[in-house]
Structure 1
Amino acid sequence: MKTIKIIRSWCMAILAMPLMMTAQNSNSGTHHSFFIAGPDFTGIINEVDEVVWDSGKPAARDGYVLDNGHLLICWADEVREYNKAKEVILTYKRAQDHMELGTAVRLEDGNTLITESGDNPRIVELDKTGKVVKSVLLQPETDNVHMQTRMARKLPNGNYLVPHLLAFAVKEYQPDGEIVNVFKTDFEIFGGRSAETWPFTAIRLENGNTLVTLTHGNRVVELDEEGAIVWQLDNSDFTNNPLVDPCGAQRLPNGNTVIASYGAQDGIKMFEVNRDKSIVWTYENYRAHHFQILTTNGKSLKGKPLK
Structure 2
Amino acid sequence: MMKSAALLAVLVAFLSSSTDASDQETTHSFLACGQKTYIMDDDGKVSWTYPASTRDGYVLRDGTVVLTLSKSERYRGGAVVKIAPDKTETLLWEGTQSEINSAQPTPDGNFVITEAGNKPRLLEIDSEGEIVLEFPLACQMKNHHMQTRMARKLADGTFLAPHLLDFAVFHYGNDGEVLNKLDTTVPGDTEHKIHSWPFTAIRHGDGHTLVCCTNGNRVVDFDSDGKIVWTLTNDDLPGAWLQDPCGSQVLPGGNIVITSYAAGRKDPNAPKLFEVTRDKKVVWKYVDGQKVGIHHFQLLTTNGKRLQGPVLK
Give the Cα–Cα distance (whole angstroms) in 1 for the partners of residues 304 and 187 of structure 2: 43
Question: Given the superposition, is the C-alpha separation of residues 190 and 281 from structure 1 closer, same or farther in structure 2, using an over 3 Å criterion?
Answer: farther
Contact between 1:35 and 1:65, CA under 8 Å: does it hold in 2?
A: yes
SS at 1:68's partner residue?
coil
Q: How does 1:129-208 map to 2 (within 5 A)?
A: 129-188=128-187, 193-208=192-207
Deviations 1:213-263 (A, max 9, x none): 000000000001222111110001123111000000001112110000001
Q: Which of residues 10, 18, 30 is equivalent to 2:26?
A: 30
Q: Which of residues 52, 55, 58 is equivalent to 1:64?
A: 58
Contact between 2:168 and 2:184, CA under 8 Å: does it hold in 1?
A: yes
Give the Cα–Cα distance (whole angstroms) in 1 for the partners of residues 190 and 238 of structure 2: 22
Contact between 2:19 and 2:287, CA under 8 Å: does it hold in 1?
A: yes
Matching residue of 1:50: 45
SS at 1:18's partner residue?
helix
Matching residue of 1:92: 93
Matching residue of 2:310: 304
Q: Which amino acid aligns with 1:297?
A: N
Q: Give the drift of 1:26.
A: 5.2
Q: Give the drift of 1:188.
A: 1.6
Q: Give the drift of 1:62.
A: 0.6
Q: Which amino acid aligns with 1:274?
A: T
Contact between 1:90 and 1:129, CA under 8 Å: does it hold in 2?
A: no
Give the Cα–Cα distance (whole angstroms) in 1 for the partners of residues 182 and 84 of structure 2: 37
Q: Is 1:278 matched with 2:281?
A: yes
Matching residue of 2:3: none
Give the Cα–Cα distance (whole angstroms) in 1 for the partners of residues 252 and 23 of structure 2: 20
RMSD: 1.8
Q: Give the drift of 1:107.
A: 0.7
Question: Given the superposition, is the C-alpha separation of residues 208 and 24 from structure 1 closer, same or farther in structure 2, using an over 3 Å criterion?
Answer: farther
Contact between 1:142 and 1:166, CA under 8 Å: does it hold in 2?
A: no
Question: Given the superposition, is the C-alpha separation of residues 190 and 250 from structure 1 closer, same or farther in structure 2, using an over 3 Å criterion?
Answer: farther
Give the Cα–Cα distance (whole angstroms) in 2 for the partners of residues 226 and 281 of structure 1: 31
Matching residue of 1:121: 120
Give the Cα–Cα distance (whole angstroms) in 2 for the partners of residues 31 and 239 of structure 1: 20
Calculate the TM-score normalised by the size of structure 2.
Answer: 0.88
Give the Cα–Cα distance (whole angstroms) in 1 for the partners of residues 259 and 172 of structure 2: 26
Q: Give the drift of 1:157.
A: 1.1
Task: Say which one has the larger Rg.
Answer: 1
Give the Cα–Cα distance (whole angstroms) in 2 for the partners of residues 235 and 110 of structure 1: 39
Tell me the matched-pair count: 288
Matching residue of 1:242: 241
Contact between 1:100 and 1:117, CA under 8 Å: does it hold in 2?
A: yes
Give the Cα–Cα distance (whole angstroms) in 2 for the partners of residues 222 and 23 of structure 1: 30
Give the Cα–Cα distance (whole angstroms) in 2 for the partners of residues 169 and 282 of structure 1: 29
Contact between 1:249 and 1:258, CA under 8 Å: does it hold in 2?
A: yes
Give the Cα–Cα distance (whole angstroms) in 2 for the partners of residues 248 and 221 of structure 1: 13
Contact between 2:123 and 2:133, CA under 8 Å: does it hold in 1?
A: yes
Matching residue of 2:75: none
Runs (4 or more) in structure 1 with deviation over 6 Å come to none
Matching residue of 2:223: 224
Range with greater deviation from structure 2 (285-294 or 172-181) = 285-294
Question: Given the superposition, is the C-alpha separation of residues 281 and 150 from structure 1 closer, same or farther in structure 2, using an over 3 Å criterion?
Answer: same
SS at 1:212's partner residue?
strand
Give the Cα–Cα distance (whole angstroms) in 1 for the partners of residues 281 and 49 of structure 2: 32
Deviations 1:142-195 (A, max 9, x none): 321000000000011111100000000101111111101110111225676111
Q: Is 1:269 matched with 2:272?
A: yes
Calculate the TM-score normalised by the size of structure 1.
Answer: 0.89
Q: Give the drift of 1:136.
A: 1.4
Q: Give the drift of 1:290.
A: 0.5
Q: Is 1:291 matched with 2:292?
A: no
Q: Give the drift of 1:212.
A: 0.1
Q: Which amino acid aligns with 1:61?
A: R
Give the Cα–Cα distance (whole angstroms) in 2 for the partners of residues 170 and 129 of structure 1: 30
SS at 1:146's partner residue?
helix
